[in-house]
A and B are shown apart, each in its own frame.
Chain A
Amino acid sequence: DADVTQTPRNRITKTGKRIMLECSQTKGHDRMYWYRQDPGLGLRLIYYSFDVKDINKGEISDGYSVSRQAQAKFSLSLESAIPNQTALYFCATSDSGRVYEQYFGPGTRLTVT
């Protein structure tokens, strides 16, 4: 299922560097989300967007920013990466009529050294 893609799939970066994770979707969904997954902590919502002009903070937005360049593209940036941002990051999409059914990307494994 390549409807939701994420780039890069793996990234190692150093503390203080700026990094961008990208997400693209071909499902035509209006809603897009960024989550991070940490062992023992499950999935936590970072940011979400209902459309190009509507971006909202999630549970853990500090240290992150996002850009919704088009309906199909939603990027997550770490302005100045720190080691505790080492995690698996997932992008997801959903249709506004079926918000509960989210389609996830394959994930980006980010390591900050």
Chain B
Amino acid sequence: AQRVTQPEKLLSVFKGAPVELKCNYSYSGSPELFWYVQYSRQRLQLLLRHISRESIKGFTADLNKGETSFHLKKPFAQEEDSAMYYCALRGGGSQGNLIFGKGTKLSVKP
């Protein structure tokens, strides 16, 4: 079965603290994973994809096939990082639709 699990509904950290948003997946093939973000009063948008291996707004995510994880990390959280974060897996087959996790709300306190 293809599935994305985000175990934390809410994650609260203080400004300047490290943050890690957890994502685990279940997929039989070679996975393609993504993080989407929804800031307050803004639209859901793509944050990063594992293939690009880039850092966006200080966030990075490494695909760990052994642990079937794709955790999102940032060494020093900022208040503007407060948002809803969704991990997504590109499903198999010709459709290749995205399968979203349930989301984690990140709250960065001053």
Q: Could you tell me which A residues sit within 8 Å of B by CB distance?
A: 1, 4, 33, 40-45, 48, 56, 58, 90, 92, 99-107
B57 contacts partner chain A, Cβ-Cβ < 8 Å = no
A-B residue pairs in contact (CB < 8 Å), sample of 21: A33-B97, A40-B9, A40-B102, A42-B86, A42-B103, A43-B44, A43-B86, A43-B100, A43-B103, A45-B97, A99-B96, A99-B98, A100-B32, A100-B46, A100-B49, A100-B88, A100-B96, A101-B46, A103-B45, A104-B44, A107-B43
| Total residue contacts A-B, CB cutoff 8 A | 48
- Most B CB contacts (10 A, CB to CB) among A33, A44, A48, A100 go to A100
- Complex CA gap A90/B101 in Å reads 16
- Complex CA gap A1/B101 in Å reads 25
B34 contacts partner chain A, Cβ-Cβ < 8 Å = yes
**Contact indicator B90/A48 (Cβ below 8 Å):** no
Q: Which residues of A contact B49 (CB under 8 A)?
A: 100
Q: Which residues of A contact B103 (CB under 8 A)?
A: 42-43
Chain A nearest Cβ from B10, distance in angstroms: 11
Give per-residue flags for B27-39: 1 if the beta carbon is below 8 A from chain A beta carbons, else 0.
0000010100000
Q: Which residues of B contact A92 (CB under 8 A)?
A: 44
Name B90's closest neighbour in chain A (CB-CB). A100
Main secondary structure of the interface of A (DSSP, over half): strand
- Residue tally, chain B, CB below 8 Å to A: 20
Given contacts A40-B102, A42-B86, A43-B86, contact A90 B44 (CB under 8 A): yes
- Complex CA gap A95/B103 in Å reads 24
